[in-house]
């Protein structure tokens, strides 16, 4: 490769890798598999080694991927703190010979008198916990390796992370040691989502026609960055810890440190082994490459560390990796099974999705019987036939996913599937949106599956929260009692008692649940309507921006696009929804039933006193912090979790955080008290 070509390729690789890092760490929506990413990074490393004049300090080979979200990219802001010790990444390989090369380099530097600690590499998101005097003090994400996001409130909702350490039964206090642990130490590990919790979460998202998480790692990372700690608690996250740091730690080896941590009640993996040579390491890798398929969580490799802590210190670090550890990565887990048939499912928005029915096969701790084929284009690319033996992956890709066909096992008893031209439910000719690969049934008001899907969505927990499920909807629909959401509010006791299995008590509970649902706030009612692309968060944004359903219905495209986070596709969908007479009729009937179609007085924008102002709050006030944030929003201001150069005011109550005060002073940010704040919102000039 000529020098000019090498320069161009290096720039291309940097751009692709940086974008992949952003999609992986920030968006939790990877565009490349781990293997594809690692191969691109190795190519960049190789070119930079050959042409060192083109290596720069901001190259992806010189820094870890960052999970920090800038203020410009998101409203989900977390306070940030520096890591006391840099939080680096790991060098990795897919080749056992490179593990041997790692061992050879260690021997050359530190001799032969050492061992290795071999551990499972959990496929989650990195976390750093600080304990002070035996109590959890702070939890930081990896961030950019030097600074991390403070997610302590969310971590406190992960059940297997102790808030307070346990004293081992065999510990005897002395004058020199009053507690079994150091006064302060850091312990690092991985927060992950077990397969069962992951599958449950994705089922919920699919039912709501929200995009499923690509893999448990993305689900764990996305969950850890949620603003609502109560939601985090419901996500089923777990943690495994694997590295202790601190001043004057009393341990000789890494394994000894982990045993101590385990005795204090910290979650440490028992699936590790101290090995003496490369043969034992290879045996450990081979064992877990097979046994990982039965584990209840995702693991993507084995981490091999020099066990002796003094030798770790001697080997030191590169700019990005410790020299005393390496990760051996497993290839994405696959299973080969037979494709029995393909169903074509219609969703509540009319999207038709092909779903493969498979001979049951075990994969990543669960039995897989079905896998998505996504769309007609994907089926064509795979050249898939009924009766083929197909590869299914449940690793770093969409879960579960058919990735290929084993042509060597293709027999004579195969048949070519045909993606339907008409809706499999109502027979209407399908249409294909030029902007999307999916096919849609346009018969929104006459397709039974779409109608029932929208009815289920309307009553769902995050929408109207009515006690009912798919079986109830089937019964009501089949009896022609319910056709659109407004019909629910016209149901009478005598209607329900005609349904099989219904008694007065069950009918009464259902009707009372409907009665309670009229108290649901406007943003949830808007979400319940099931407008295409308008999810829970978008509904809240639109409701608060416009204030009422009438204002949304009257909005033109320009007005819709002016709302925060509303792009062209969503705006077009909303605009089209309110141009359908049937939808307007349904809304009118729901209004008559008493549902809320405007923001209530307490939620309305009260003034524009704080328009364009970003305010950080710290400390205690005469009202709750949530109420104070709501007050800021009601007067046009924006809440932020951390002080930056863009902060307009630091609103300090009683006992404000000293670090926020210090940062505000250093940046020249004006610090105001609650009285001054209330003068501001009452339009008293400051």
Domain 91-329 falls under CATH 3.30.450.40: no
Per residue in 401-417, pLDDT tens?
A: 888 899 999 988 999 99
Q: DSSP class of residue 22? A: I
**Domain assignments of the chain as residue spans, ordered by start:** 3-54, 91-329, 334-419, 448-517, 522-603, 614-681
Q: How far apart are CA 525 and CA 216, in angstroms?
A: 31
> Strands, DSSP E only, in 25-104?
80-82, 92-93
Quickly list DSSP for 548-595.
BHHHHHH--HHHHHTSTT--HHHHHHHHHHTT-HHHHHHHHHHHHTT-
Q: What distance separates the 2 farthest-apart alpha carbons in the chain?
A: 86
> Strands, DSSP E only, in 57-112?
80-82, 92-93
Q: How far apart are CA 587 and CA 550, in angstroms?
A: 10
pTM over 0.75: no
Superfamily of domain 334-419 in CATH is Nucleic acid-binding proteins (2.40.50.140)
Q: Which residue has the higher pLDDT, 641 or 304?
A: 304
The pLDDT assigned to 311 comes to 96
The pLDDT assigned to 438 comes to 82
Domain 614-681 falls under CATH 3.40.50.10190: yes
- Give the count of alpha carbons within 13 A of 281, CB side only: 27
Q: How far apart are CA 57 and CA 59, in angstroms?
A: 6
3-class secondary structure, 116: strand
CATH assignment of 448-517, among 1.20.1050.10, 1.10.150.20, 3.40.50.300, 3.30.360.30: 1.10.150.20
Q: Domain 3-54's class? A: mainly alpha
Quickly list DSSP for 617-653.
EESB-SS-HHHHHHHHHHTT-EEESS--TT--EEEE-
Q: How far apart are CA 92 and CA 328, in angstroms?
A: 6
Q: Which two tokens stand for residue 209?
A: 């026609």
Task: Give the torsion sign (CA, 533, 537, 539, 544).
Answer: negative
Q: Annotated catalytic sites, by residue?
A: 121
Q: Which two tokens stand for residue 239?
A: 């943690």
Per residue in 19-61, pLDDT tens?
A: 777 666 665 556 566 676 777 888 888 888 888 888 887 787 8
Per residue in 90-147, pLDDT tens?
A: 888 888 999 999 999 999 999 989 999 999 999 899 999 999 999 999 999 998 888 9
Q: How far apart are CA 199 and CA 254, in angstroms?
A: 34
Q: Domain 522-603's class? A: mainly alpha
């Amino acid at each position: 490769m000529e020098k000019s070509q090498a320069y161009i390729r290096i720039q291309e690789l940097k751009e692709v890798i940086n974008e992949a890092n952003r999609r992986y760490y920030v968006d939790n929506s990877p565009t490349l598999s781990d293997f594809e990413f690692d191969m691109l990074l190795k190519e960049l490393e190789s070119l930079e080694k050959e042409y060192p004049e083109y290596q720069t300090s901001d190259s992806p080979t010189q820094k870890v991927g960052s999970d920090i979200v800038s203020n410009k990219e998101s409203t989900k802001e977390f306070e940030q703190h520096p890591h006391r010790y840099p939080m680096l990444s790991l060098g990795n390989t897919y080749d056992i010979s490179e593990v041997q090369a790692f061992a050879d380099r260690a021997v050359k530097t530190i001799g032969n008198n050492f061992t290795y600690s071999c551990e499972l590499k959990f496929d989650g998101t990195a976390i750093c916990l600080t304990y002070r005097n035996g109590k959890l003090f702070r939890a930081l994400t990896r961030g950019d390796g030097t600074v991390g996001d403070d997610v302590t409130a969310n971590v406190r909702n992960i059940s297997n992370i102790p808030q307070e350490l346990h004293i081992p039964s065999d510990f005897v206090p002395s004058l020199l040691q009053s507690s079994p642990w150091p006064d302060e130490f850091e312990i690092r590990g991985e927060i992950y989502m077990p397969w069962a919790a992951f599958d449950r979460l994705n089922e919920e998202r699919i039912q709501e026609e929200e995009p499923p998480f690509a893999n448990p790692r993305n689900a764990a990372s996305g969950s850890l960055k949620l603003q609502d700690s109560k939601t985090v608690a419901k996500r089923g996250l777990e943690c495994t810890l694997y590295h202790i740091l601190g001043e004057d730690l009393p341990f000789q080896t890494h394994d000894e440190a982990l045993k101590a941590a385990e005795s204090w009640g910290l979650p440490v993996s028992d699936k590790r082994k101290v090995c003496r040579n490369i043969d034992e390491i290879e045996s450990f890798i081979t064992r877990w490459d097979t046994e990982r398929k039965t584990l209840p969580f995702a693991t993507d490799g084995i981490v091999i560390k020099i066990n002796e802590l003094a030798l770790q210190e001697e080997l030191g670090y590169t700019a990005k990796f410790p020299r005393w550890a390496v990760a051996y990565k497993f290839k994405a887990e696959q299973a080969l099974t037979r494709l029995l048939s393909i169903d074509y499912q219609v969703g509540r928005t009319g999207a038709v999705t092909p779903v493969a029915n498979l001979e049951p096969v075990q994969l990543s701790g669960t039995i897989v019987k079905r896998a998505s084929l996504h769309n007609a284009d994907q089926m064509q690319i795979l050249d898939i036939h009924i009766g083929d033996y197909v590869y299914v992956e449940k690793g770093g890709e969409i879960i579960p996913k058919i990735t290929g066909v084993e042509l060597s096992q293709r027999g004579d008893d195969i048949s070519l599937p045909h993606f339907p031209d008409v809706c499999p439910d109502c027979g209407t000719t399908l249409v294909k949106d030029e902007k999307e690969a999916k096919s849609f049934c346009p018969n929104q008001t006459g397709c039974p599956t779409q109608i029932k899907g929208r009815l289920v969505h309307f009553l769902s927990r995050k929408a109207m929260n009515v006690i009912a499920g798919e079986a109830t909807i089937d019964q009501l629909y089949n009896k022609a009692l319910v056709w659109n959401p407004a019909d629910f509010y016209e149901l009478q006791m005598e209607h329900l008692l005609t349904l099989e299995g219904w008694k007065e008590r069950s009918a009464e509970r259902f009707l009372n649940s409907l009665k309670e649902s009229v108290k649901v706030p406007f943003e949830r009612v808007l979400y319940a309507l099931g407008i295409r692309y308008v999810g829970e968060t978008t509904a809240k944004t639109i409701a608060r921006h416009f204030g009422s359903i009438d204002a949304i219905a009257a909005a033109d495209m320009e007005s819709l696009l002016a709302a925060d986070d509303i792009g062209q596709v969503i705006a077009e969908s909303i605009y089209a929804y309110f141009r359908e007479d049937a939808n307007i009729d349904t809304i009118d009937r729901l209004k008559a039933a008493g549902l809320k179609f405007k923001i209530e007085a307490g939620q309305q924008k009260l003034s524009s006193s704080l328009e364009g102002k970003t305010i950080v709050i710290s400390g205690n006030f005469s009202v709750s912090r949530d109420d104070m944030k709501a007050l800021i929003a009601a007067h046009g201001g924006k809440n932020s979790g951390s002080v930056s150069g863009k902060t307009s005011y630091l609103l300090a109550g009683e006992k404000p955080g000293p670090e926020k005060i210090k940062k505000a002073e250093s940046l020249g940010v004006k610090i105001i008290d609650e009285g001054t704040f209330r003068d501001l919102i009452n339009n008293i000039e400051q």
